[in-house]
Structure 1
Amino acid sequence: MFAAHAVESAPHDSRPAMEAVAARFGGTVPDAVARLATSPELLNGFLAMSASFESCTLDALSRETVVMTVAVRNDCHVCIALHTGKLRALGAAPDLVTALREGRAPADERLAALRAFTLDVLATTGAVDDDGIKVLLAHGYTERNALEVVLGIGTYTMSTLANRLVRAA
């Protein structure tokens, strides 16, 4: 089930995305991308949403906090491993990486508030109460950032569920 495609065996509309990803990964196509290529719509949609999330106004550590919160919640080992590497490349403190990987609040109060808000958005399907929003805002985030968290949740919910479905390694 869910073959890991090479660029040549993938549906035509997945090939440009696979080639672009391979260029970023030293010529190799990660297993998740090779498997998600079965659906050009999903692969291209995820990559477009991911690029949009990467260009939002949340800082890099905040974006990775959102991603890791979703990845751990959804038990996506591929995403956890990949985003652990991204956190380390960003120079994240080892205790931050460990806390996020273990599904715990980080010591950094700002990132802990963001993680809690992300979980609250997920738990309430977006119906976060005013106090929850105020806590996020009190930690220096904006209303725009709150909506960008929703973008990150949507992007990485798609990714984590698809990766688990195709048994990406």
Structure 2
Amino acid sequence: MFTDHTVETAPAESRPAMERVTQAFGRFPNAVARLAESPELLNNFLESSAAFERTTLEPVAREVVIMAVATRNDCHICVTMHTGKLRELGAGTELITALREERELPDERLEAVRQFTLAVLATAGGVGDDELKAFLSHGHTERNALEVVLGIGTYTMSTLANRLTRAS
């Protein structure tokens, strides 16, 4: 039902973003082609994603946040894309499989990120003191806690839009 836009068919306000994605990745994914229908959503997602990439969370921890949101929201394209990103980052098969299967992670520090992400989602941000302390006790900071919220917001938008548009 949703259009797979090309740079030529997309709304004018989506075209610069589509061109940037093409330059960065050599193509643009089906999800970008469909999200281009809404320049506001596409541009906001790409800006928010770039902001999340600039956070102080280490790269694999950021991917843990993304995968927790993607698996929870059943976004297959996101799980596939971010499995690839985890491999690029050198994450091991055991970690990737555990994330994909929503199981406890072999690394305690990363598991603290996953658990905190799930707690934020489950409580709509009303995380209890014990959950916050558990997150902080693994060397994470209050800034990291807020960065997790940024990641959740960014990738909730993406996963819901991808599911709505049936991006694959």
Q: TM (normalized to structure 1)?
A: 0.98
In structure 2, give the amino acid aligned to 1:167. R
Q: How far apart, CA to CA, are the structure 1 residues paired with 2:47 and 2:23?
A: 17
Q: Does 1:17 align with 2:21?
A: no
Letter in 2 for 1:107: P
Residue 140 of structure 1: how far off its partner (Å) = 0.5
Output the CA distance in 2 between the equivalents of 1:36 and 1:103: 27
CA RMSD of aligned residues (A): 0.5
Matches within 5 A, 1:80-95: 80-95=79-94
What TM-score results when the alignment is normalised by the length of structure 2? 0.99
Question: Within 1, Cα distance between the matches of 2:105 and 2:61?
Answer: 12
Letter in 2 for 1:13: E
Q: Secondary structure at the match of 2:102?
A: coil
Structure 1 runs, 4 residues or longer, greater than 2 Å off: none
- In structure 2, the partner of 1:129 is 128
Number of aligned residues: 168
Q: CA–CA distance in 2 between the matches of 1:29 and 1:87?
A: 19
Structure 1 gaps, min length 5: none
Alignment match, 1:96: 95
For 1:35 and 1:24, how far apart are their aligned partners in 2? Answer: 18
How far the C-alpha of 1:93 sits from its partner, in A, is: 1.1
* TM superposition shift of 1:131: 0.5
Tell me the secondary structure at the aligned position of residue 100 of structure 1.
helix
Q: Deviations over 1:5-49 (max 9, x none)?
A: 0000000000000000011121x2210000000000000000000
**Hey, what does 2:151 align to over in structure 1?**
152
Identity %: 67
In structure 2, the residue matched to 1:8 is: 8
Show the 5 A alignment for 1:103-114: 103-114=102-113
Aligned mates of 1:104, 1:53 — CA distance in 2:
24
Q: Counterparts of 2:113 and 2:45 in 1: how far apart (Å)?
A: 22
Q: Deviations over 1:134-167 (max 9, x none)?
A: 0000000000000000000000000000000000
1:90 Cα shift? 0.3
For residues 120 and 25 of structure 2, what CA distance do their matches in structure 1 show? Answer: 32
